[in-house]
Structure formats: C-alpha cells, structure tokens
Amino acid sequence: MEMLKFGKFAALALAMAVAVGCSSKGGDAAGEGAVDPNAGYGANTGAVDGSLNGEEAALRAITTFFFEYDSSDLKPEAMRALDVHARDLQANGARVVLEGHADERGTREYNMALGERRAKAVQRYLVLQGVSPAQLELVSYGEERPMVMGTSEESWAQNRRVELKK
C-alpha cells in the first residue's frame, strides 16, 4: 500500500516538474525564475542522439527539497533528484549553495539549527554520491525567508526545505 502511494506521488511530482519545465510565459527565457531543464550544470547526460531523457531532465529541474515537521531526514524522491545533481556536479566541478529553511514554529535559534541540519543532510548525501565538499556551501535561514506566508500546515510544509542554488 505504501509503495502504491509513493508511486502515485512520484508520478505526480514528475508530471508537475515536466509541466513546469515545458511551460512558457513568454519574454526573456533566462529571466528570474525561468527553468531550463536542458541546462543542468553543463553536462549533457542524455540519450545517444543528444536529446535529454525526460525523467532525468525533470529530476534536474527539482532544486527544492522538502522535509517533514521537525525532521532533517531526506525523502526518497529528494534522493532521486539529488542523484542527478550529484552526477552533474561531479562532471563539471560547479559550486552550489545549500540553503536550509524551517517553518515559523519553534524559537528563532532552534529553527536556525534545524535549517542547518537540513542543509547538512543534503550535503552529506551529495558527498556520499561523490561530490567534493569544497563544491558545497551551506547557509541556514531558519524561519527568516518563508516561501509561503501563512499559518496553515500547507504553508508550513512549503517552508520546511533546502534549496540548491547555483
């Protein structure tokens, strides 16, 4: 039963990532917030004919990894996307920043520490996949930079995250 839920969630996440990567609002394609799933970090790990594998491109487009309440444990879907990022980082040696965040519950100090634990969890996973620690910078913002304002579980869930930024 649990695998069925995971499969449905993974399929939904993949479909949403592909839709985001394929949508266009016009204007400057390199503008802020634009997602170019073909860009990666400069490594084309696509098929023999040069076209990118759709699933890999969708995973590459995922740069925000969400966490459960009061947890720094990576979710399986985050690990799949981080595997793709790890290959890209190994291939080109780029540096990235891992920004840890928490929701507004808890003290400011606790949330700063929780954001750091989350960023360190992503760092540990990437290092285990072969990425050099020198390529990874960690920053914790705690509750200071919410993605979504609000006091509902839906808002809080969006704020419990690590963002991977170039």
Is residue 28 one of the residues assigned to a domain? no
**Contact (CB, 8 A) for 136 and 98:** yes
Is residue 20 one of the residues assigned to a domain? no
- Residue 106 sits in which domain range? 52-166
Give the total number of structural domains in the chain.
1
Query: Is pLDDT above 90 for 82?
Result: yes
Q: Which of 116, 103, 90, 102 is nearest to 151 (CA)?
A: 103
**Contact (CB, 8 A) for 131 and 86:** yes
Residue-level pLDDT at 133: 98
Residue-level pLDDT at 57: 95
Task: State the CATH number of the domain containing residue 108.
Answer: 3.30.1330.60
What residues have CB less than 8 Å from 39, skipping those under 6 apart?
none
Is residue 92 one of the residues assigned to a domain? yes
| Sign of the Cα pseudo-torsion (61, 98, 32, 159, in order) | positive
Is residue 41 one of the residues assigned to a domain? no
Is residue 6 one of the residues assigned to a domain? no
Kindly report, residue by residue over 45-79, the tens digit of the pLDDT.
Answer: 444 444 458 999 999 999 999 999 999 999 999 99
Average pLDDT score, the chain: 79
Residue-level pLDDT at 53: 82
Instruction: Please tell me which residue, 40 or 95, carries the higher pLDDT value.
Output: 95
**What percent of the chain is helix, strand and coil (3-state, nearest 5)?**
45, 15, 40
Is residue 9 one of the residues assigned to a domain? no
Kindly report, residue by residue over 98-135, the tens digit of the pLDDT.
Answer: 999 999 999 999 999 999 999 999 999 999 999 999 99
Is residue 151 one of the residues assigned to a domain? yes
Q: The tokens of 89 are what?
A: 């980082």
Is residue 19 one of the residues assigned to a domain? no
